[in-house]
């Protein structure tokens, strides 16, 4: 049996195949990456741009730069959900920009540590757009070069919280290790944005909250320092 296909329909099929191949080449995603939630949306080019949209990252490619829009608007989950974000941060060029939209109450601290390090070590410019950056979300915010606080935004930072189980001697060892690590992290991450008094409050087990006007005022100094 033969199927008759019009010339126009044939050209559309060929164009779709070419676009699909180009998308694969642009993304260069390794087989080991988690692509279970991968969604790609290609739109007609405007100003020589290409938009790719999947999971919580939207990519706009231009002739001279790439802009990555990242949306951290759920609890920070296990590290494997952020493999592509880490990959893009690692491979970004100095001409690229990451805009990190943060609206989260926090989550997995060690995932936040991995994202923090990836942002700090990327060549790209990084901008945190803050709506609600608490706990792990605040850690990620403090990795960015520039902080933009939106109206009615909130920031909160504190020591890690959680539970543990096992042998008493093992739990004691883990607690002491977490305590040493937390002190080191709070002093390094929060310096320059939170005051010494506020950092000491965190180290003593307290929580420090900032609202939009306070965040914006501190962001001015932060952004000036990280130009």
Inform me whether the pLDDT recorded for 47 exceeds 60.
no
Per-residue pLDDT tens over the stretch 71-100: 999 999 999 999 999 999 999 999 999 999
Give the C-alpha separation, 192 to 170, whole Å.
Answer: 35
Give the C-alpha separation, 55 to 64, whole Å.
Answer: 25
Q: Residue 36: its pLDDT value, please? A: 46
H helix or E strand, kind and range, residue 59 = strand 57-61
Confidence of residue 33 (pLDDT cuts 50, 70, 90): very low
Q: Is 45 left (phi over 0), alpha (psi -120 to 50) or beta?
A: beta
Inform me whether the pLDDT recorded for 52 exceeds 60.
no
Confidence of residue 51 (pLDDT cuts 50, 70, 90): low
Q: Residue 45: its pLDDT value, please? A: 41
Mean of pLDDT over the chain: 82
Q: Count the alpha carbons within 13 Å of 129 in the hemisphere toward its beta carbon.
A: 11
Mean pLDDT of 194-216: 96
Q: Residue 214: its pLDDT value, please? A: 98
Confidence of residue 179 (pLDDT cuts 50, 70, 90): confident
Q: What percent of the chain has pLDDT over 70?
A: 74
Mean pLDDT of 165-176: 78
Inform me whether the pLDDT recorded for 216 exceeds 80.
yes
Looking only at the bridges linking them, the beta strands covering 50-54 and 97-104 are: unpaired
Q: Beta-carbon neighbour count of residue 171 at 10 Å?
A: 13
* Domain covering 49-225 in this structure, CATH number: 3.90.226.10
Tell me the two tokens of residue 88.
Answer: 């893009």
């Amino acid at each position: 049996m033969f199927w008759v296909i019009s010339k126009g329909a044939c050209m559309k099929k060929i164009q779709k195949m070419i676009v699909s191949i180009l998308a694969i080449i642009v993304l260069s995603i390794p087989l080991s990456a988690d692509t279970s939630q991968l969604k790609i949306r290609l739109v007609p080019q405007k100003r020589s741009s290409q938009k790719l949209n999947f999971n919580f990252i939207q990519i706009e490619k231009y002739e001279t730069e790439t802009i990555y829009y990242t949306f951290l608007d759920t609890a920070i989950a296990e590290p494997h959900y952020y493999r592509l974000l880490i990959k893009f941060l690692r491979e970004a060029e100095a001409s690229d920009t990451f805009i990190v939209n943060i609206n989260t109450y926090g989550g997995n601290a060690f995932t936040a540590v991995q994202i923090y390090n990836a942002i700090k070590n990327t060549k790209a410019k990084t901008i945190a757009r803050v709506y609600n950056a608490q706990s792990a979300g605040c850690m990620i915010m403090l990795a960015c070069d520039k902080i933009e606080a939106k109206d009615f935004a909130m920031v909160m930072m504190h020591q890690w919280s959680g539970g543990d189980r096992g042998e008493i001697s093992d739990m004691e060892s883990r607690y002491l290790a977490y305590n040493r690590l937390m002190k080191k992290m709070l002093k390094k991450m929060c310096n320059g944005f939170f005051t010494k008094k506020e950092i000491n409050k965190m180290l003593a087990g307290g929580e420090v909250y900032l609202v939009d006007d306070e965040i914006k005022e501190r962001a001015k100094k932060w952004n000036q320092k990280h130009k």
